[in-house]
Amino acid sequence: MKAMALKCYNILVLIFLLFNVSFYENVVLAQKNGLGASFIFGDSLVDAGNNNYLSTLSKANIPPNGIDFKASGGNPTGRYTNGRTIGDLVGEELGQPNYAVPFLAPNATGKSILYGVNYASGGGGILNATGRIFVNRIGMDIQIDYFTITRKQIDKLLGQSKARDFIMKKSIFSITVGANDFLNNYLLPVLSVGARISQSPDAFVDDMINHFRGQLTRLYKMDARKFVIGNVGPIGCIPYQKTINQLNEDECVDLANKLAIQYNGRLKDMLAELNDNLPGATFVLANVYDLVMELIKNYDKYGFTTSSRACCGNGGQFAGIIPCGPTSSICNDRYKHVFWDPYHPSEAANIIIAKQLLDGDKRYISPVNLRQLRDL
């Protein structure tokens, strides 16, 4: 009897080992065919549902958000748009079979994490004080803490040597952050007056860059090597800013855009410095500012009818005050609006932006585009 039990145990152990070896080989084979693990960090531009699990004022798991998201049958998932985010679209094009799972979701366990994890959070920023108006949000420091947990899980799944190889060679780290540090921190009328009195724009941007450098270096020390970093878009041109500042359709808020441009210049220099100083790393800069500004200025060229009015929202000339929700007015021609809501691009705009990041030239993505980054 004991001999039979021992034999059964040995067979089970053998099956377990064969399954795990086979799974890793299948993952690697899939990667060779163009698939890659995508680890996504940032704010509501790429949040795929983490804020669903927080007690926060910043949520998108209410209709009509997600109305064009086919994977959910048009139901809201926590994405702050009508369909797919830029992170979703890039993952699809690079051959990922599944969207990166939100870290806080119950199914973010086991082998599913080998296709990628999304840590992004609506309201999150580089600085820990950013987004406190929403009560809860996950800033970059905590997002990287969460990746530390994932990193240990991958060690357990693949073994330390294969895990390190997998992170360094087969994974892309995508980071879209910084806008909230201005919109929901430095420029916020109620909470940031003291900050603006005590900090000049130069000092605030310095603070952002120094924090961000430390955050990217932390990821590098956990074996991240392929990075794509989005700069801050033309935040002075979003429907919310145009509405509260009572601007005309073709006007933007000068201060907000100047702050974005100032930060973006420093970010470009910092990424060049990291490319020089961190051996084996490739930091790719996504020029989101110029990409989105091109859509805003020449919207009709891309088939849009407006780049100033939100499709879903309420309040003011551009439906730019109250966020998108069940009581919002919603446009009938969602694919003809650059902006889905007062803050975020529509899926139609995201498709154009993602295409440029994947295959565009150095005006918009440098030193290599995302398809080239994957194949390095």
- pLDDT for res 199: 84
Residue 14 counted as domain residue: no
Least confident range from 72-76, 186-190, 275-279: namely 186-190
Residue 226 lies in a domain: yes
Residue 297 lies in a domain: yes
Specify if 324 maps to a domain. Answer: yes
Is residue 341 part of the annotated active site? The answer reads yes
Give me the catalytic one of 47, 88, 181, 341.
341
74 inside domain: yes
The residue from 38, 58, 68, 344 that is catalytic is 344
pLDDT value, residue 27? 52
Percent helix / strand / coil, the chain, rounded to 5: 50, 10, 40
Q: 295 is in which domain, residue-wise?
A: 37-375
Residue 124 neighbours by CB under 8 Å, 6+ apart: 42, 43, 44, 130, 131, 137, 138, 139, 140, 143, 177, 180
Let me know if 211 is a catalytic residue.
no
- Rounded to the nearest 10 degrees, what angle do helices 254-277 and 201-221 cross at? 40
Rounded average pLDDT over 320-334? 94
Q: Which are the contacts of 338, defined by CB distance < 8 A and separation ≥ 6?
A: 295, 296, 299, 304, 306, 307, 345, 346, 348, 349
Could you tell me if residue 32 is inside a domain?
no
Of 38, 44, 307, 328, catalytic: 44
Task: Confirm whether 328 is a catalytic residue.
Answer: no
Residue 203 included in any domain: yes
The mean pLDDT value of the chain amounts to 91
Model pTM above 0.85: yes
CATH assignment of the domain containing 184: 3.40.50.1110
Kindly tell me if the per-residue pLDDT of 19 is higher than 70.
no
Instruction: Domain count for the chain, please give it.
Output: 1
In the predicted model, what is the mean pLDDT of residues 161-186?
Answer: 96
Instruction: Judge whether residue 59 has pLDDT over 70.
Output: yes
Residue 26, domain member (yes or no): no
Task: Over range 180-187, report the average pLDDT.
Answer: 94
pLDDT digits (tens, 9 = 90+) for 292-303: 999 999 999 999
Name the percent of the chain lying above pLDDT 90.
85
Q: What does the pLDDT look like over 210-256, one tens digit per residue?
A: 999 999 999 999 999 999 999 999 999 999 999 999 999 999 999 99
